Amino acid sequence: MKDFKAEKPTWCPGCGDFGVLNAMQRAAVSLGLEPENVAVISGIGCSGKMSQHFGGYGLHSLHGRSLPTAQAVKLANKNLTVMAAGGDGDGFGIGMGHFIHAMRRNVDITYIVMDNHIYGLTTGQASPTSDIGSTTKTSPHGTVEKPIEPLQLALSERCGFIAQGFSGDTKHLATLIEKAIRHRGFSFVNVFSPCVTFNKVNTYEFYKTGLVNLDEDEGYNNADRFEAMRRVSEANNLVVGVVYEDPAQTAYEDTVYGYPSESLVSMERGLKQEEYDRILAAFH
Ligand code: SF4
**Per-residue pLDDT tens digits for 137-187:** 999 999 999 999 999 999 999 999 999 999 999 999 999 999 999 999 999
Q: Does residue 146 contact residue 140 with C-beta atoms inside 8 Å?
A: no
DSSP collapsed to 3 states, 56-105: CEEEECCCCCHHHHHHHHHHHCCCCEEEEEEEHHHHHHHCHHHHHHHHHH
The residues lining ligand 1, judged by C-beta closer than 6 Å to any ligand atom, are 11-12, 15, 17, 46, 116, 120-121, 195-198
Q: Show the CA angle centred on residue 210, arms to residues 49 and 178, nearest 5°.
A: 45
Residue-wise burial string across 25-52, b where 16 or more C-beta atoms lie within 10 A, e elsewhere: bbbbbeeebebeebbbbbbbbbbbbbbb
State the distance from the centre of ligand 1 to the C-alpha of 121, rounded, in angstroms. Answer: 7
Angstrom CA distances, 224 to 36, 102, 183, stand at 37, 22, 17
- The ipTM (two decimal places) reads 0.99
Task: Identify the pLDDT of residue 116.
Answer: 98
Q: Does residue 58 contact residue 52 with C-beta atoms inside 8 Å?
A: yes
Distance spanning both ends of the chain, measured CA to CA? 49
**Per-residue pLDDT tens digits for 238-249:** 999 999 999 999
State the distance from the centre of ligand 1 to the C-alpha of 179, rounded, in angstroms. Answer: 27
**Average pLDDT in the chain:** 94
What residues contact residue 201 under an 8 Å CB cut-off, 6+ apart? 117, 131, 134
Say how far apart CA 116 and CA 255 lie, in whole Å.
35
pLDDT tens for the chain, 284 residues: list them.
667 776 788 999 999 999 999 999 999 999 999 999 999 999 999 999 999 999 999 999 999 999 999 999 999 999 999 999 999 999 999 999 999 999 999 999 999 999 999 999 999 999 999 999 999 999 999 999 999 999 999 999 999 999 999 999 999 999 999 999 999 999 999 999 999 999 999 999 999 998 999 999 999 999 999 999 999 999 999 999 999 999 999 999 998 877 777 787 877 666 677 877 888 888 77
Q: Is 181 helix (H, G, I), strand (E, B) or coil?
A: helix
Does the domain at 17-249 match CATH 3.40.50.970? Answer given as yes
State the distance from the centre of ligand 1 to the C-alpha of 4, rounded, in angstroms. Answer: 22
Give the mutation target among 8, 42, 116, 127 for probing the ligand 1 site: most ligand atoms within 8 A of CB. Answer: 116
Angstrom CA distances, 15 to 92, 188, 195, 244, stand at 20, 21, 6, 28
Task: Identify the pLDDT of residue 268.
Answer: 66
Task: Identify the pLDDT of residue 256.
Answer: 83
State the distance from the centre of ligand 1 to the C-alpha of 115, rounded, in angstroms. Answer: 11
Looking from the CA of residue 16, the nearest atom of ligand 1 is 1
Q: Does residue 119 contact residue 105 with C-beta atoms inside 8 Å?
A: no
Q: Name the residue with the closest Cα to ligand 1, atom 1.
A: 15
Say how far apart CA 233 and CA 248 lie, in whole Å.
25
Q: Report the DSSP pairing between strands 57-60 and 38-42.
A: parallel
Task: Identify the pLDDT of residue 6.
Answer: 67
Say how far apart CA 240 and CA 237 lie, in whole Å.
9
Looking from the CA of residue 11, the nearest atom of ligand 1 is 6
Q: Name the residue with the closest Cα to ligand 1, atom 5.
A: 120
Provide the 8-state DSSP code for 186.
-
CATH 3.40.50.970 domain locations along the chain: 17-249
